[in-house]
Amino acid sequence: MTKLQQTLYQFFGFTSFKKGQEDIIRSILSGKDTIAMLPTGGGKSLCYQLPGYMLDGMVLIVSPLLSLMEDQVQQLKVRGEKRAAALNSMLSRQERQFVLEHIHRYKFLYLSPEALRSPYVLEKLKSVPISLFVIDEAHCISEWGHDFRPDYSKLGQLRKKLGHPPVLALTATATKDTLQDVMNLLELQHAERHLNSVNRPNIALRVENAADTAEKINRVIQLVENLQGPGIVYCPTRKWAEELAGEIKSKTSSRADFYHGGMESGDRILIQQQFIHNQLDVICCTNAFGMGVDKPDIRYVIHFHLPQTAEAFMQEIGRAGRDGKPSVSILLRAPGDFELQEQIIQMESVTDEEIANVIRVLEETEERDERRLRDVLMQYGVGETQARMMIHLFMQGKTSVELIKREISYRMELKLEKMRRVSFLLQRDGCLRQSMLTYFDESYEPDDGNLPCCSHCGFDLSLYEQKGERSKKAPLDSWSSELQRIFSLQTVGELN
């Protein structure tokens, strides 16, 4: 038994690695920067937790969502690891202070890119040896770092300030371009790459055309009524998520609810937990839902609209069938879909006047507190996301209307191009799986003829319909959900 296997057994109770894990871990242990792509549910957290036990010093994990950090810390604690914490806004001032003052005690510290903006946090982190700098869901760097969450684009610089620890960038879905972007922004020129296929052979792909929205709604109701659940319906807007959930509730026997970014965080957690514990059959949501939803038995994912990118599409359908059992993805198309998404992307555009206002405020004020600046700018009618993006560009030295405008138009054009491509991929003639994999620079060799492939290759949708009686539904009372929650946490802890 090697040292690696011993450690695996000692801390995780496993006797063997999942596909891809060992290579990634060996790369980390040899001190190299590593970029790893593992399919969803492929055991990504083990790839940094195990080396964490073998290396001296702290493992710092940058994570995009509070809920992901909390889940990970809880799982570590259930496994008996007390030296884990998440440093974020959910902590009280005292708790935060405690973590920072005792920072040398921690083995695994989770935080957001925004938290690393604080000079005080950075100073504290400099006082401890960091054995590994992990970026979880690393595609967020490319997806969000240029506009929505610019702090993601500063991680490369931050790493230098932290004494240049080795980096592990983890993701499940990325094209070559996205990986290149991640490497540029993180300044990882010589990283070892461990890439696995994004293909999920157990998910059959289907595209259906509808004449209009009314027909789509009818079809969704029909599908939800007949398909074996649980399932997810991805919607283009918050309003659609709410409306479809209402339609499904009133016209089918399915227990449905909605989920989007405009909800209170308590409600979001509740809905997600109910879904995970089988108290809901179907969830209608925007693209806010999904990251960190580690539910193994999702049987179908319906897209009520066009996704904005092929990467997003793969991420979203990839939430189905993590248990490896047959699952299905169905995309509904109708005229006008493309235009709606196009308009959502074009909301990001800004007028010359707005840019000029931003520049004037930035030049007039000595204040570099971004929050205060954003408040000022919002008084000029500039949206929060736009304000943040423009401040970010200004700080990078793009201090003229022309430069800022050019950059924003360029980003928007890239997004529109990605959308045109996914739209094209989903409507062209030919095998859908092959189209998607080609986009991800993969070749496709059908491995066996048993698994249904796609609506072009042909398959029988009734394979995915429920047989006989609907499965027994768990009651919606609080003590039973609490018991289920505790039970599931223990199970998760044992498995990981």
Q: Give me the half-sphere count of Cα atoms (radius 13 Å) on the Cβ side of residue 42.
A: 23
Q: Which of 60, 67, 49 is nearest to 291 (CA)?
A: 67
3-state DSSP assignment of residue 254: coil
Q: Does 438 bind DNA (CB under 7 A)?
A: no
Q: 206 - beta bridge partners? A: 330
Minimum gap (Å) between residue 472 Cβ and DNA: 31
DSSP code per residue over 126-175: HTS-EEEEEETTTHHHHHHTTTT-GGGGGHHHHHHHTT---EEEEES---
Q: Which stretch binds DNA (CB under 7 A): 63-71, 77-85, 276-284, 479-487?
A: 63-71
3-state DSSP assignment of residue 475: coil
Residues 329 and 355 sit within 8 Å (Cβ to Cβ): no
Q: Which stretch binds DNA (CB under 7 A): 1-9, 19-27, 83-91, 158-166?
A: 83-91
Residues 157 and 133 sit within 8 Å (Cβ to Cβ): no
Q: 204 - beta bridge partners? A: 328
Minimum gap (Å) between residue 37 Cβ and DNA: 20
Minimum gap (Å) between residue 456 Cβ and DNA: 28
- Of 287 and 427, nearer to DNA (C-beta) is 287
Q: Does 340 bind DNA (CB under 7 A)?
A: yes
Q: Does 97 bind DNA (CB under 7 A)?
A: yes
Q: Which of 384, 401, 410 is nearest to 149 (CA)?
A: 384
Minimum gap (Å) between residue 260 Cβ and DNA: 4
Q: Does 403 bind DNA (CB under 7 A)?
A: no
Q: Does 351 bind DNA (CB under 7 A)?
A: no
Minimum gap (Å) between residue 123 Cβ and DNA: 5
Q: Does 128 bind DNA (CB under 7 A)?
A: no
Minimum gap (Å) between residue 117 Cβ and DNA: 8
3-state SS of the chain: helix, strand, coil percent to 5? 50, 15, 40
Strands 327-333 and 300-303: parallel
Residues 205 and 453 sit within 8 Å (Cβ to Cβ): yes
Q: Give me the half-sphere count of Cα atoms (radius 13 Å) on the Cβ side of residue 247.
A: 19
Minimum gap (Å) between residue 286 Cβ and DNA: 3
Q: Does 129 bind DNA (CB under 7 A)?
A: no
Per CB under 7 A, contacts with DNA among 235-294 are 236-240, 260-262, 285-288
Determine if residue 343 is left, alpha or beta; phi over 0 gives left, psi from -120 to 50 gives alpha, anything else beta: alpha
Q: Does 66 bind DNA (CB under 7 A)?
A: yes
Q: Which stretch binds DNA (CB under 7 A): 19-27, 39-47, 116-124, 443-451?
A: 116-124
Minimum gap (Å) between residue 466 Cβ and DNA: 29
Q: Does 136 bind DNA (CB under 7 A)?
A: no
Q: Does 143 bind DNA (CB under 7 A)?
A: yes
Q: What φ, ψ does residue 218 adopt, rounded to 5°? A: -60, -40
Q: Does 149 bind DNA (CB under 7 A)?
A: yes
Q: Does 343 bind DNA (CB under 7 A)?
A: yes
- Judged by CB under 7 A, the number of residues near DNA is 50
Q: 209 - beta bridge partners? A: 333
Residues near DNA, by CB under 7 A = 64-67, 87-90, 93, 97, 100, 111-112, 114-115, 118-120, 123, 143-144, 147-149, 213, 236-240, 260-262, 285-288, 308, 336, 339-340, 343-345, 347-348, 371, 384-385, 388
